Chains A and B, each alone.
Chain A
Amino acid sequence: MNFESKIRQILSDSDRTIDKEQFINNLTKVRYKHQLKRSQSISSVLAICLIMAVSLTSYFELDQGIIHSSGNYYFSDGNMFHSEFDQDNFIDNDYLLDDLVIYIMEEEDDIWTAFTFLDEIEFDNFINYMEEES
């Protein structure tokens, strides 16, 4: 008997039957488990991608390029709302202050008290105005 036949003889008693229906049931369960795992992995990856996208967007929105110069940090105000502090409103506020000073001058019985007050708050627009008038 040659070597190949001897090997076959050794292996010949290995044939055993298997319950096919039981095997198919097990296989179906394992397949569903694999599918579940796969969909869970996909969901996890998508969630991670979403979190990363939101994080990156937030980072780029907040970080408008900080400039460090002479020990100071400068931030871009590009995204700030235009409020009453913008340039136009500052001009309007000057007029409002002038009007307020004129009102004080007119209403105050003693004009020197009014001048002292304006001097204390270092407001000299009105004094200049009076000088121009005269």
Chain B
Amino acid sequence: MDDLCNKLICTRNENLFDVEDIVINILSRLPVKSLMICKSVSKQWWRLISSPNFMRLQLIRSQENPIYVFYPYSCRCHSEHFLTKIDGETTETLPGCNRHYFRGMICSFNGLICCINTEDIRGMIRCRRIRRLDIHICNPATREVLLLPQSRGSKESPKIGVAFYPRTNEYKVFRFFNPAGKSHDKHSECEVYSSITGCWKGIGCVAHSPWSSNHICINGTVYWFIRSEKDGLIIVSILAVDMEENFSVIGIPEEATLRTFLVSFEGCLSLVAFHVFDKNRFHMWILQDSKKSTWVRKCSDYMSILNIKQVQHVAVQKNEILFASVQQYFFYNMCSRTWREFNWVHDFRKRLSIPLAYTESLLPLCLISHCPLGI
């Protein structure tokens, strides 16, 4: 019996909140807005909620309940800048960040959203147009917004891609541009911004440049579509840049050339592509080997509900594919092979919306930690 007693010896805590494991367990179930309030309950709670471990735990819980955000805007009215969150059937407006241009929302990862906004500025020489690009990184849940420092001007709209490294919470912004003033030179250059250094670093000329800022980041590697010409034919492939800034090119399945979207599925690079011959059928491909460009078909179905020509954006979370047209959103469940339409709570139908998969988080925008309370 002594042995039994020894195993069960326990000092009883008078106050539940002295047991940090339990407090962390409770707090990690709260939405970020509530956590911002809980931070000011006591120094202990402030310290717990601000710790990187807690941020990680909160993110894991948040990932169990993935949502989408979208920015509805009409071409006529640019004054309304707000981000809307879809949570099941409810729509909630995320206030704040009003001044920033969600119109140019280009990617979302672990609660951070990157928005770009281009502005034409006239150069010294007449008729030479130079485009200035504002890149914002925001966390709509904590309402933090960071404007990245300006980088060199460009003749065309630069192409952007953001790499997030889940282990360190670091992010890098890749910017491909055509240096201003070198009109004879078609080569693109690339610059990289790191959240650790807080500044841009040039990596010189690059062989491939993406044709749009549409990209996806998976485990620290960023993927864009690129176009190249071979024997008079335009070939679409994928440019990949890893954490060490190594560039590589991945071929796409032959059948997937009509209309293709980059998505992330279960931590793998995937494509949602419409069939070349059978125009209302879509396929989902998963990259199995990036070196050999081998793809495996995950699912395939007829799209009876929407004309594929209307599909503007595609996003995937858990087992659902979201197909978005200008006015409608449809979710396709890969397990049950069923469709459902998203019911708009507000009348956003007449506006163009860009949906992004989103996970609410506490992640900071700068990695240099600020401790205003000195705790």
The answer to whether A and B interact is no
Chain A residues in the interface with B (C-beta under 8 A): none
> Footprint of A on B, CB under 8 Å?
none
